[in-house]
Structure 1
């Protein structure tokens, strides 16, 4: 009975957990992608924002709720209704994508490219990236070395610094706007398909994937605060998730509007990082660039800490012969090596994986959230995932760089996809098949339930 005695969390405790979740989710991509979306959408920023919020906020929030509702300890448990083999493969794919292959290296390359590269002569860029990324991942390793200190390091120290700097950027931007949002011209894609394109742009944040992976970090932090029962841990996680993602909504809205206003002075930029650099330099020159470098580095470091910790915790849990600290070191080392390929290569090869994993993650998140309605029945999971994985694979092939997408195989897949799969032209070819799988899976579930009921009645 003594083990079940729990400490009642204070408002300060909830604030720390909410701040932890915010810090884990909000990285450099969460700064640059909404800003660029504002430039792309122009005066159509509102429908684009609504689409972006679905995949950039609602899905990450649902991923936290999925962890809470199913009382999972991480991404492995979310896929477990489909069997341990699927769960393990899914966990490895998620962590590889948001971890050492793409997501974690991007935290270093974005902070360098946006914040420091403009201050470094061109001939020293590669050397500077090497040195910066080495120091960056050394800091991430040290901050995440003690698992129980992660909440304190992120929620109490780095997060407030980030918020203060970001507030200064917003304050100056709205006191002296660069242009009128109503007069900002949208790009051709956002003239009529603003919502859908905003929806797909939200994939780039990787937050729905990260939400599943960060579950273990959040659960560890909540338990360290004195919560022992699974139900209590789930309730704290859900409540903190709601508060943290509400803050993200406000910041996204402000960033998108700032991006749209910037068209009054600048042309459409290549990406949000360039736009951010232009805006800050226009207002504050080299001092502004130094502030931007600090802002980007702080927010990237918070995300990197969460990613390497989640990677190490999950892999240690499933491959316990290797210690948490060894997995942590391997994650940081691999991320450091990948980062030195540069931001452009990382983004080019991460997009296809996101087109494949996001649909699978979305359906698993939604199935987990609504799982009490069908008792986490494996047949429902199996049908939905089966009907999702094939079109998601097709979307991945089409999104690969030209070496794959323009090959004979890539062109054949693209032609088949457009001809036979509804919504393929807007990148959502998985939606209709997933709904078909859901209907079939629920049909199997209710049929089995009816058979059991009939059997019970006959025995009586």
Structure 2
């Protein structure tokens, strides 16, 4: 009979899992948001960093834990307690957000903004972005179409080089600071609400959503290492995740401080891509900028390949009448189109979607992590999500650019939303979600419901 015990992992194996988690959550695009946060927060960078690390580090780790605890095979299974319709809708929204609408196009626009734009005259920027994105997504499609591992193997070599150069930049920046981060000017929003605004800025990393979509990769790797019990899988993910996310958190913290210090020499930039370019050019000159730009482009291209392939695979799985290659072509073309709106526009229009999706993702992640305490009762999920989704829609509407938020409809929604607690902080969903949790738990304890099984029980999963 097969042994049900899990073997003890070596430190090297923990490091392998940690590296996988690090690669999942840290891409070149994650550079720009903490840098920009540092510029926005100025002297209040400490509280802002605290809020950012919750949504940028802790929540992504919990999203992978949610996959492990519920033994899910993907984001679809996380929403499954609320029915197939909700699960499918949630999956589509997650993949569309981290895929062709915002996440995948951002890989090209970050590469362009950091690597190409500084060398192109202003009046040729749009044309240059068009040509760059054609080549960028053409390569992404080709590598994904043939499921070629060449780029991934190159990335394994270049990504460490990229991180080494990044830490070299940190070393130089802290040895020769542009200014004192504690004395940097803060924007009005961060003068009194640094923690909450840092928390909301962490949404832009999209890592919690990515953790739900790709966390199964990490969990599968842990199971292949001989971890048979779901509790053991969760413990390994937690330990390796702590190691990986400590590294991610350290990079975020250094970037936030570097962004605050840059205000001693530069003005507040429109986005983090511009800030990163300015800082690299200041310390490394044109040569340093070219080298780092090449590495960032390869890193972003590797990320883009993973995103378009994952989108095509998951959509083909749930909509099998359309082939993998057709889904791949559709997501690549859509990403190309979105990328040509530019990084600033992508960030502006992604914010409303993230204001809607992140509250839903957060409550589903936390419910999944603690699901064993209430037998994954679908009624608790129902009340919590119901009381979360309505105010989250309000947060989404008021976060749109003025063409929507300043309209009569937007103003009406804003007036209703203002009646909810914490609405001024962008957290109007929090109190209603807690009310939904109380109601759900009350129903659960009055009339307990049998545990929901996502899939047939497997012998090697039994605790």
Q: With structure 2 as the length reference, what TM-score do the two structures score?
A: 0.89
State how far apart, in whole Å, the 2-side matches of 1:450 and 1:367 are. 16
**Aligned-pair CA distance for 1:154:** 8.1
1:22 aligns with 2:22: yes
**Aligned twin of 2:57:** 57
**Aligned twin of 1:454:** none
Gaps spanning 5+ residues in structure 1: where?
452-460
State how far apart, in whole Å, the 1-side matches of 2:219 and 2:148 are. 11
State how far apart, in whole Å, the 1-side matches of 2:5 and 2:387 are. 45
CA contact (8 A) 1:27 1:302 kept: no
**Aligned twin of 2:185:** 185
* Greater mean alpha carbon deviation, residues 390-399 or residues 234-243: 234-243
**Aligned twin of 1:211:** 211
**Aligned-pair CA distance for 1:445:** 0.5
1:423 aligns with 2:422: yes
Post-superposition CA distance 1:387-441 (Å, at most 9, x none): 00000001111111222211111111101111x2011111110000000000000
Alignment CA distance shift 1:211-1:431 (3 Å): same
Equivalent residues in 2 for 1:9-408, closer than 5 Å: 11-144=11-144, 153=153, 156-219=156-219, 221=221, 229=228, 231=230, 234-408=234-408
Aligned alpha-carbon RMSD (Å): 2.8
State how far apart, in whole Å, the 1-side matches of 2:152 and 2:354 are. 31
**Aligned twin of 2:461:** none
State how far apart, in whole Å, the 2-side matches of 1:145 and 1:3 are. 40
State how far apart, in whole Å, the 2-side matches of 1:450 and 1:94 are. 29
State how far apart, in whole Å, the 2-side matches of 1:116 and 1:227 are. 46
3-state DSSP of counterpart to 2:101: coil
State how far apart, in whole Å, the 2-side matches of 1:124 and 1:160 are. 33
State how far apart, in whole Å, the 1-side matches of 2:405 and 2:61 are. 33
Alignment CA distance shift 1:5-1:434 (3 Å): closer
**Aligned-pair CA distance for 1:340:** 1.8
* Greater mean alpha carbon deviation, residues 357-366 or residues 127-136: 127-136
CA contact (8 A) 1:42 1:186 kept: yes
Alignment CA distance shift 1:387-1:281 (3 Å): same
**Aligned-pair CA distance for 1:164:** 1.6
CA contact (8 A) 1:165 1:291 kept: no
Post-superposition CA distance 1:56-105 (Å, at most 9, x none): 11111110111111111111010001011100000001101110111110
Alignment CA distance shift 1:4-1:122 (3 Å): farther
* Greater mean alpha carbon deviation, residues 321-330 or residues 249-258: 321-330
* Greater mean alpha carbon deviation, residues 235-244 or residues 86-95: 235-244
State how far apart, in whole Å, the 1-side matches of 2:110 and 2:140 are. 15
Gaps spanning 5+ residues in structure 2: where?
451-463
3-state DSSP of counterpart to 2:100: coil
Post-superposition CA distance 1:94-117 (Å, at most 9, x none): 101110111110110121022211
Alignment CA distance shift 1:18-1:143 (3 Å): farther
CA contact (8 A) 1:43 1:186 kept: yes
State how far apart, in whole Å, the 2-side matches of 1:364 and 1:271 are. 30
State how far apart, in whole Å, the 1-side matches of 2:22 and 2:143 are. 17
CA contact (8 A) 2:155 2:299 kept: no
**Aligned twin of 1:455:** none
